[in-house]
Structure 1
Amino acid sequence: MEITGHIVEKLNDPTGIIVGDRYEFFLNIEVPEDDELYSENGVLLKVIYAVEDQGSRIALYQFIERATNEVLDFALEDEEEELVNEYCKQHIE
């Protein structure tokens, strides 16, 4: 999996319930054809990234098929999760 670009937006919490800041990332990813996650339509990774006093982390993520917006039931492998975490940390607004 390779991250080729992104869109990020800081989420607003009008209630003030959430501690810290939350960012919504849509990561453009390339997946090799021999990977079970591969789709001809392309795949996005939606990430909710939490930034708190204790540090930053991936709060939630979903793989989404680009053409249909269908949520795909896959999980990140440990090294992929580290890659995504570092990428998001470096690209916070």
Structure 2
Amino acid sequence: MLKFTSYKVDNLKDPFGILTGKRYEFVINLDVPEDDELYLENGVSARVIVKVEDEETSIVSYDLQETTTGNVLEFDFEEDEEAALVLFCKEHLPE
């Protein structure tokens, strides 16, 4: 199961006013065990774009990246991990 160690969140502005709902960008640091294929010495984080509309929260997109370099990794979350990610983001939305 995913363990989230820290995060930051920013409100994304829609300069043209064409998107519905609100968008947020999360950068979440992950605690990945050394025996996991996703493990990297420099750490792994998830960059997640979340949409909130009519009190429903969903992931628009996400990338897994090496924390120190920002290099995008070619991995995807499993369904249960994505569900945990959505729940984490929903619980940590800014007021």
Q: TM over 0.5, yes or no?
A: yes
Corresponding residue of 2:11: 10
The answer to whether the Cα contact below 8 Å between 2:46 and 2:64 also exists between their aligned partners in 1 is yes
Gaps of at least 5 residues in structure 1 are none
- Give secondary structure in 2 for the equivalent of 1:92: coil
CA RMSD of aligned residues (A): 1.0
The percentage of counterpart residues that share the same residue type is 46
Q: Distance in 1 between matches of 2:74 and 2:11?
A: 25
Matched, 1:38 2:39: yes
Runs of 4+ that moved beyond 4 A? none
**Alignment of structure 1 residues 1-93 onto 2, 5 Å:** 1-53=2-54, 55-93=56-94
User: More strand per residue: 1 or 2?
Assistant: 1
1:28-79: per-residue Cα shift (whole Å, max 9, x none)?
Answer: 1111111111000001100000001271101100001012210001001111
Q: Distance in 1 between matches of 2:21 and 2:43?
A: 32
Gaps of at least 5 residues in structure 2 are none
